[in-house]
Homo-oligomer: A and B are copies of this chain.
C-alpha cells in the first residue's frame, strides 16, 4: 500500500469511527504509521484528506458494495435488498455502531465545508444510480410510469434513516422494520401491476423464472 493510500485508509477509518471533527491529524498519522512530512506532501490538511476520503469511497463503491450485491442474485429487486443486507451486516458486526460513513459525513461536514458537499452528493448520486438501474431492469413487473428514480431515492432514504435509528437504539430492529416496510411497498406496487404478477419472491432459487407463486403481503 503506498503512503497516500495508507493515509486515506486511516483517515476513512477514523472519520467513520469518531467523526471528522473529533479526529486529529496526529491520530491519522499514528494510525497510518506515516510522518507528518509525508502527509503534507500529499495533502494540505485534514479537509483535503476528507476530500480524498470521499473520492475514495466513490471509487470503491462499485467493487465493495455494488458488485457483491449483484453477485447475490440476478433479480434487480432482490439486488436492492442484498445491498441493504450488506449495510445490516456491517451494523451486526459492529454492535450497531458507526453506521454509514457517507451519511455521517453528510450531516457533520456539508454545512461547514462548502467544497466537500458536492463530493458527498456525488456518492449519494452514484448509489441511487445503481439502485435505479436495478429497479428499472425489472420495469415490466411495476405499473406503467413508475418513477424508478424516486423509488431509488426512497431506498437510500430508508437505508440512511434506518441506520441512524439503529445506531441510536443499539438495535437492528429499526433498520429491519424500515426495510420490511420498504419491501412491502414494492410488493404492493408490483402487485398492482396485475396480469397475475405476484409480489416479488424473497427466495433466489429461480431468479429468472416467471414469478407465479403468490406470497401474502407482509405486515398485515
Contact (A220, B143) CB under 8 Å given A154-B181, A165-B157: yes
**Distance A177 CA – B151 CA, assembled complex (angstroms):** 8
The 8 A CB mask of A57-94 against B (1 = contact, 0 = none) is: 00000000000000000000000000000000000000
Contact (A103, B164) CB under 8 Å given A21-B21, A192-B188: yes
- A41 at the B interface (CB under 8 A): no
CB distance B161 to A162 under 8 Å? yes
Residues of the B chain whose Cβ atoms lie less than 8 Å from the Cβ of A97: 111
Bin the interface of chain A by size. Answer: 35 or more
- A153 at the B interface (CB under 8 A): yes
Residues of the B chain whose Cβ atoms lie less than 8 Å from the Cβ of A111: 17-18, 97-98, 167
CB distance A117 to B185 under 8 Å? no
- A160 at the B interface (CB under 8 A): yes
Residues of the B chain whose Cβ atoms lie less than 8 Å from the Cβ of A43: none
